Structures are given as C-alpha cells and as structure tokens.
Amino acid sequence: MSWVLWLAVTFSYYAFFSWLPTLLIARGFTITHSFGFSIAICVAQIPGYFSAGFCNEYSGRKTTIVTYLGAAVISAASMALVSSSTGILIAGILLSFFMNGTFAGVYAYTPEIFPTALRATGMGSASAIGRIGAIAAPLLIGVLYPKAGLAGVFGMTALILLFGALSILVFGPSTVNRSLEEIESTY
C-alpha cells in the first residue's frame, strides 16, 4: 500500500511540475505568461503543506491523505477539462495546493505504519519506489502528450492519483489516537 501511494503521488507530482511550463506553452500561452502561471501555481504549495500539517494533527494522516488526494483528482480532472486562462490557473493552483499537501501527510504517515524495527527500511523503500515514478513521469508525459494532448496527460494523472487514494483508503491502517506500539501490534 505504501509503495502504491508513494508511486502515485510522486509520479503525479513530477508529471505535473516538470512539464507545466511546456504544457502551458503548447496550450497557447507565451513563455512569459507560462512562467508567470508556473510561479503562481508553485507558490500554492506552501499553504497546501501548512494546511495539511494542521489537518494531519486534527483529522489524522490517513484521512488527510485521502482527502487531499481526492481533491487533487478533481483538480487534475479540471485541469484536463478547462480551456480558459483563469480556469487553468485556478485548477493548477488547486492541484499544486493539494499535491504538496498530500506529501505532508505521506511523510508523516509512512513511518507510522511500519514496525519500529523496520521503520527506516519501510520509509526508505516506499520513497525509493516513489522515485521510480519521478523518473518515469517526465518520460511518459513526453510520449503521451503528442498523442493524447493536455486532457490525456491530466486525465491520466487524475486516474493515477485516484488509484493512490483508493490504495490507502482500502488497505491503509488508521493511526488516529493509536500509539506506535498499538499500530505495530496489528502486524
């Protein structure tokens, strides 16, 4: 479950952010306009991370991750469907906000779900699997975009995020109000 989660989140993050200026230019934006949008979209990561940190403490990590991933799915689907400059900017800001917020939950949740003796190995292996997504995403987007366009790229991103959300929703243990010893005893 943690590997699927990390793969989905990291793949989608790098698919979005590594290609964002290029996809905007291909959509008809000028280079200056594209980079201006990219900056505004990237700045949304900061409040996304802080808000998820707050939600992690009050709603729990699993709930925060699933909620933020669900909102990221909607944002990615919106990015695939909108055509106006304002729509693209709003969908991009929301996707950035929720993607980075998801990372705040993932970094807190992953070590909690592994037994103490395997915590570092579990976190490291999940992160390493996630890096496979980071490597594959820009390559796959480069192949997919000419064939499927912006809608195809963000539609695929939405599906991958949905798969990650369903993975944790179905298989992820809840850590709310549980000590690490209690969580470990479920294994």
Q: What is the pLDDT of residues 127-149, one digit of tens each?
A: 999 999 999 999 999 999 899 98
Max Cα distance, the chain (Å): 56
Query: Is the pLDDT reported for residue 175 higher than 80?
Result: yes
12-21, 59-68, 174-183: which has the minimum mean pLDDT? Answer: 174-183
2-185 is classed in which CATH architecture? Up-down Bundle (1.20)
pLDDT tens by residue, 91-106: 999 999 999 999 999 9
Cα 79 to Cα 93: distance, rounded to the nearest angstrom: 10
1-49 pLDDT, tens digit per residue, is 999 999 999 999 999 888 888 878 877 888 888 888 889 999 999 999 9
Check: CB of residue 99 under 8 Å from CB of residue 108: no
CA distance 25 to 19: 10
CB contact set of 58 (below 8 Å; sequence gap of 6+): none
- Quote the pTM value: 0.90
